[in-house]
A = this chain, B = another copy of it.
């Protein structure tokens, strides 16, 4: 069963999994449910009965303000999951919905407990959760302190690295079935301004993003203008930063 391959690949980036770990993950992902675009997995206030894994497609976590404005909190690509410990919370305090048809495996608390009995799997999921938090923190920096141009560039750099880790990029080109309005809800820009920014990136021959496909033409230059440092997405020990932050 190939259902769990992206999930396994992602977790393998965080700890070395044994054959028995892999078998259990495959079993956990054996019977996914198919969700259509815009379909909700959970909404704020719902009882929190399951963790979940996105096996393919694209989902997102978000919050709505009373006036209808939306902040997307995270993208969930193939192999991404909710926090395994999510069922410790009585209720969701954010919503989850699918942005592009996705197969999603729901994980009961008992199943999560069984997965976590393997030290390797537990370690991988723990580290995965920490990286997910690091991504949220980086988004906070992005929205708080970067210009529109940097925000969009930084987001694309991040997605490139995350998708590369599960083999969904080829030469910094990848499917990204996102609307410009959805991208705006992510980096806190109007759809109009996202469009202008993407046009600028295209004009500079840094990135094209058309037909649900993104292509980074000059990765080094894009990272430079974005101030992108992939450390927060990786675990390999690397030399300390110089800038003291």
User: Which residues of A come within 8 Å of B, CB atoms?
Assistant: 43-47, 61-66, 69-71, 73, 83, 85-86, 88-91, 93-95, 123, 126-127, 129-130, 133-134, 136-141, 143-146, 187-188, 227, 231-232, 235-241, 243-245
Contacts and interface: CB of A to CB of B under 8 A. Distances in A.
Contacts of A123: 88
Nearest to A235: B90
Given A188-B144, A237-B90, A137 B136 contact: yes
B126 A188 contact: no
Given A88-B130, A130-B83, A73 B137 contact: yes
Contacts of A61: 137
Interface centre among A61, A65, A93, A232, by most B CB within 10 Å? A93
A134 B245 contact: no
A82 to B, nearest CB: 11
Contacts of A129: 85
B143 A140 contact: yes
A190 to B, nearest CB: 11
A119 B197 CA distance: 50
A95 B240 CA distance: 12
A197 to B, nearest CB: 16
Nearest to A133: B133
Contacts of A46: 240
A140 B130 contact: no
15 contacts: A44-B241, A45-B231, A45-B239, A45-B241, A65-B141, A65-B146, A66-B243, A70-B145, A88-B123, A89-B130, A90-B236, A91-B231, A91-B240, A140-B143, A143-B143
